[in-house]
Amino acid sequence: MEILQMYINGKWVNSKNGKNIEVKNPSSGEVIATIPRGEGEDVDKAVKSAKQAFNSEAWRNVKPHERGDLLFQIAEKIKENRDELAELETADVGKPLTQGYADIDAAIRYFQFYGGAADKVMGDTIPIEDGIIDYTVREPVGVTAHIVPWNYPIQILSRSVAAAIAMGNTVVVKSAEDTPLTAMKIAQYFDELDIPDGVFNHVTGYGADAGAALSSNPLINHATFTGSVQTGTAVATAATKNVVPVTLELGGKSPNVVFSDCDNENTVEGVVKAIIQNAGQTCSAGSRLLVEESFKDEFLEKVVNRFKELSIGAGLQDKDIGPILNEKQCNRILDFLEVAKDEGKILVGGKQVTVEGYEGGFYLEPTIIDGVSPNSKLAQEEIFGPVLAVFTFKDTEEALHLANSTDYGLVTGIWTQDISRAHYLASRIDSGQVFINNYGAGGGVQMPFGGYKRSGFGREKGWIALYNYTQLKNVAIKYN
């Protein structure tokens, strides 16, 4: 068992209260590390160190292309330790090892993408009148807070931290208490760089303590949060009291809309992968299946058969589906499945299972529920597990209505060979991302990601995310 520390102002430190939190492997329930239980005093120290670093001439004088070089160095360090990091992410989160590797590769791409962008964000000149030169510049916002969820820790840390540092900001990361281990490694890599102390800080602790202290700290200048609507609302409220902007990505109830003219084989695989990745513990999981009524029985039989073929096991066994994070999360999903017994029909799955040799983990069969009302909590609330709810539609307009019938709007998949119908739906579906005849586009580091409605606001990933971490200044010069 490792005893780990926080990284604040260029030093490895314990929490002021001397308390620790156990980190468990979801596959087995085994304690694999302890981390400091940071609280307000620890967070305040990290934020002040980031503020001091941001105001320092040493950091201000780092040129944009040099900041890019720093990010490329982090990417190289991740590459060099790819195997170790993939196994660490798998042990920490429980996801299958193949998915762990995919997350590490995505982290590499984030640091590369934003490393290449660091010296390419331009301002504009604006024509006013003769005798006036007017131009804009984008300047860093200052200290940025990054509150990272437990399901994709290294990916979500990398996508926001790399963008923030590319633009010249300083960073305080608060990792999830359940899955902090790869964040610790990223802190180690930043410690090995030749940069001022305080540019990168990593604090650990519970969300109600360290997370709340970070989002409400008056010295932060931007907060990025990924997680539940309830916690996101609290983060936004706390930040707003200090007039601080936030970027929120708050989950979804994402549909795959399947028409009878789809490519059957590819669509089945797309629908299945969209819900079983990370055991369904994914904000963008395709948790609703909307199928054209005339095609339903034929298509659903194929999806059910595919579910029956899926294997379940510990993360390092690299099966199709790994464990649920912990007992609390597992029980929450089981509560939804009890509702399903009354309000729908479970076609496959629906039970907790034991994996030999990993009896301390929490494993669930991948589940398909049919016959659910569109108004049911099964259709409206994020279950965050390998549970797929099925609905039918008669025509394009009914499909559109069903797709838009929840309070979320993060991702939508449309499966059809009719390109006019696909474009029509894409233009009218309330969703931050729409995928046509695919779902996820290979991770899409370059593609803006974020939601409509209660799925949040602002965008992560892609070029546009750089603007989260800048403020626009206009300069007007009058000359004779």
For residue 306, give the nearest of 348, 345, 337, 346 by alpha carbon: 348
Catalytic (active-site) positions: 249
Tokens found for residue 45? 């120290």
Q: Which residues fall within 8 angstroms of residue 280, CB to CB, at 6 or more apart?
A: 287, 366, 383, 384, 385, 386, 387
Q: Which residues fall within 8 angstroms of residue 398, CB to CB, at 6 or more apart?
A: none
Tokens found for residue 356? 């030999």
- Whole-number Å distance between alpha carbons of 237 and 356: 45
Cα Rg of the chain, angstroms: 23
- Whole-number Å distance between alpha carbons of 78 and 59: 23
CA 39 to chain centre: 24
Q: Give the C-alpha distances (Å, rounded to integers) separating 336 from 242, 332, 341, 377.
A: 38, 7, 9, 8
Q: Give the C-alpha distances (Å, rounded to integers) separating 257 from 20, 108, 306, 420.
A: 46, 32, 18, 15
- Whole-number Å distance between alpha carbons of 242 and 235: 11
